């Protein structure tokens, strides 16, 4: 059990954001309950995902944690309160990420993994931050390329694009999870000279994914900027639209416009990015990377290579 001293500390220090909520008392109890659960996890020298923690709390205190959202928000409060990482609380990331290309990974004392021979499916990124931190990394790549979509990642890996342009390909299959961001940051620290380029759809959501890698996520609280990287926008961008068939451009959805408004109101978003968002809203349309297949399935690699050679990224 947590000590009385811990209780006093928690009483005096629980995050301001929690106390400002209408149900502040319940938020306080949730923080206390998750803190106690994490204490038990650490005593057992275990690691759990947020999903596993949710089911444990759902069974133990269903009135406090009826949904995953309640657990996620409370973990964010606890991270802010203790000024620590999720991993130090015994909570590990549930990774969706994949990596391929000119990168060799090795866990200390284990076999080498050559990410260039993992096929179109790539190498699965572990959710264990401790393991990722200890990886021995070797690479002769000249670029790191973030790929928004799994299908595009598979196409580039299948075509072995990373040999055409010596590169490391990484994807989180959409909005990035913490483990994928952690590994990208780890690779960036190991090879600080490598430019990090992002290939995303030309729509507000695509840019939001890029910005999560670049600036972090507001939803991660104090962990927001911990794994931020200096990412450049490779494509798709507004000046690429003339090469796409008009019928491939589809109308923006309400959700797109909401994301666009959020991006435009950001104080950290650079002006060139805001100009792209304004163009999206003005045109009322969006374009997906797959539209490049209009020119043939091999055109995607040519498109990326040309932009890299011309340093056409912002």
Encode pLDDT of 239-265 as tens digits.
Answer: 999 999 999 999 999 999 999 999 999
Q: Please tell me the distance from the alpha carbon of residue 217 to that of residue 93, in angstroms, as a whole number.
A: 15
**What pLDDT, on a 0 to 100 scale, did the predictor assign at position 185?**
96
Q: Where are the domains of the chain?
A: 22-92, 98-310
How do residues 60-95 score in pLDDT, each as one tens digit? 899 999 999 999 889 888 888 888 888 888 888 777
Name the pLDDT band for 22 (thresholds 50, 70, 90): low
- Which backbone phi and psi does 158 adopt, to 5 degrees? -60, -40
**What pLDDT, on a 0 to 100 scale, did the predictor assign at position 128?**
84
Start-to-end CA distance of the chain, whole Å, equals 52
Span of 107-116, 198-207, 212-221, 276-285 with lowest mean pLDDT = 212-221
Q: Please tell me the distance from the alpha carbon of residue 105 to that of residue 108, in angstroms, as a whole number.
A: 10
pLDDT above 80 for 12: no
pLDDT above 60 for 232: yes
Among the residues of the chain, which ranges form H helices? 4-13, 16-19, 24-43, 50-60, 68-82, 129-134, 150-158, 161-164, 178-190, 204-215, 254-264, 271-283, 299-309
CATH class of 98-310: alpha beta
**Taking residues 102-109, what's their average pLDDT?**
92
Span of 29-33, 76-80, 90-94, 113-117 with lowest mean pLDDT = 90-94
What positions carry a catalytic annotation? 55
Q: What is the mean pLDDT of the chain?
A: 88
Rounded percentage of the chain residues whose pLDDT exceeds 90? 68
Rounded percentage of the chain residues whose pLDDT exceeds 70? 90
| Assigned architecture for domain 22-92 | Orthogonal Bundle (1.10)
């Amino acid at each position: 059990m947590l000590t009385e001293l811990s209780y006093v500390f928690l009483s005096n220090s629980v995050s301001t954001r929690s106390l400002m909520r209408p149900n502040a008392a319940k938020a306080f109890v949730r923080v206390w309950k998750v803190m106690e659960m994490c204490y038990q996890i650490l005593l057992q020298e275990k690691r759990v995902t947020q999903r596993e923690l949710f089911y444990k709390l759902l069974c133990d205190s269903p009135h406090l944690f009826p949904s995953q959202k309640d657990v996620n928000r409370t973990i964010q409060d606890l991270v802010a309160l203790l000024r620590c990482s999720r991993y130090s609380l015994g909570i590990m990331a549930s990774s969706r990420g994949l990596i391929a290309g000119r990168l060799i990974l090795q866990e200390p004392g284990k076999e080498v993994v050559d990410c260039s021979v993992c096929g179109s499916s790539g190498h699965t990124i572990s959710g264990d931050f401790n393991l990722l931190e200890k990886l021995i990394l070797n690479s002769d790549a000249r670029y790191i390329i973030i790929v928004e979509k799994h299908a595009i990642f598979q196409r580039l890996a299948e075509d072995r694009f990373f040999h055409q342009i010596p590169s490391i390909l990484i994807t989180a299959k959409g909005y990035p999870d913490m483990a994928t961001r952690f590994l990208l940051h780890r690779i960036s620290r190991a090879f600080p000279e490598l430019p990090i380029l992002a290939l995303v759809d030309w729509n507000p959501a695509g840019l939001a994914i890029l910005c999560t890698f670049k600036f972090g996520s507001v939803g991660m609280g104090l962990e927001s900027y911990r794994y931020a990287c200096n990412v450049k926008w490779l494509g798709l961008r507004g000046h690429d639209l003339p090469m796409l068939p008009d019928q491939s451009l589809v109308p923006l959805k309400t959700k797109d416009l909401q994301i666009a408004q959020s991006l435009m109101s950001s104080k950290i978003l650079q002006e060139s990015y805001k100009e792209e968002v304004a163009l999206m809203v003005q045109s009322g349309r969006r374009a997906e990377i797959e539209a490049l297949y209009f020119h043939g399935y091999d055109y995607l690699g040519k498109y990326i290579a040309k932009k890299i050679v011309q340093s056409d990224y912002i």
